[in-house]
Amino acid sequence: MAFQRIENNMTSTTVPTHSAQRSWVPEFLLLSAIWGASFLFMRMGAVEFGPFPTAGLRVALAAVLLLPFVVLAGEWPALRRHWKTVMLAGVINSAIPFALFAWAVMHITTGLTSILNATVPLFGALVAWIWLGERIQRLRWLGLLLGFVGVALLAWKAPGGAGMKSSDAGWAIAACLGASICYAVAANFAKRYLVGVPPLASATGSLLGASACLAIPTVMNWPTQMPGPRAWGAVVAIAVLCTGLAYFLYFRLIANAGPSRAVAVTFLAPAFAVLYGVVFLHETITPWMLGCGVIIVCGTMLSTGLVRFDRKPR
């Protein structure tokens, strides 16, 4: 999701204590459930607000929520020193992908959108190879190939949502993949230019940058009829829960469980998103979607090195 770059800002990770090892699992599940709900809330908000106001309100409210914590944590000077770089990262990592996903959920199911979001680590490995020159071994190349095959198969039989134009499904899939690529570029951007910047300062600054980027599109596309309480509640929920609170939980998860376990949230969040879509939006989940989702997740885990087949020394 939007917070892949935070892992790259952690220059060192302490070894979790035994008590921390026992406590990270509930927070891992809670964060997965919260991020899975972001697609449901985006859909509920975008129907009445439209994509740009939904994305704009999301980042603006989340920035307002996190700003006092930056000041209290003493990270405001760091934010001021690096504000240009951090705000540029926010345009790539929040403004563009949030708007793309908010548009996509209006044309394909939230479950399909969440599965496509799971390709972020897949594109991250590819961008790191192209931009930063990171080596990709044969097994990781196999994972990349497997992941892209899963995406191609999923796009081949992409279902539209109820009441949506099926002709727009292809463009919606392209928007999701574009958003995932933005996340991947932002993660590698942070790895190169934001190392040493405190994570909370980086997160808040990026949200401020995204808010500035989306301010004019939000005003220009503001709905003529005031959205109802349901849409407002969804936007507030995605800002407070899926952005503000999610940052806090993600920081704790990195500290208590380590970066590799924290990034694995990307693979579990789609399961919650699919469940929410079925229960609350009455979306249909096909065996083809689930099968392609498994292929994408397996390919992503191989391409990122989360699954290895190293021989044990005798």
pLDDT tens for 34-90 read 999 999 999 999 999 999 999 999 999 999 999 999 999 999 999 999 999 999 999
CA distance 32 to 275: 12
Which residues sit opposite 279 in a β-bridge?
Answer: none
For residue 80, the tally of other CB atoms under 10 A from its CB is 11
pLDDT at 289: 86
Q: Is residue 113 part of a domain?
A: yes
Number of domains observed in the structure of the chain: 1
Under 8 Å CB-to-CB from 134, ≥6 apart: which residues? Answer: 125, 128
Which residues lie closer than 8 Å to 32 by C-beta, 6 or more apart?
A: 265, 268, 269, 271, 272
Is residue 296 one of the residues assigned to a domain?
Answer: yes
Phi-psi domain of 224 (left: phi exceeds 0; alpha: psi -120 through 50; beta: other): alpha
Q: What range does the domain containing 218 cover?
A: 27-303
Q: Is residue 3 part of a domain?
A: no
Q: Residue 293: name the closest of 155, 181, 128, 136 by CA.
A: 155
Q: Cα angle vertex 308, ends 120, 36, to 5°?
A: 30
Label residue 169 left, alpha or beta by phi (over 0 means left) and psi (-120 to 50 means alpha). Answer: alpha
**Residue 13: per-residue pLDDT:** 41
State which residues of the chain have pLDDT below 70: 1-22, 158-167, 251, 254-255, 258-263, 306-314
The percentage of the chain sitting over the pLDDT mark of 70, rounded to a whole number, equals 84
Taking the model in full, what pTM does it have? 0.84
| Within a domain: 15 | no
Please report whether residue 7 resides in a domain. Answer: no
DSSP symbols for 267-303 = HHHHHHHHHHHHHHH-----HHHHHHHHHHHHHHHHH
The two tokens of residue 4 are 């892949």
Predicted local distance difference test score (pLDDT) of residue 2: 46
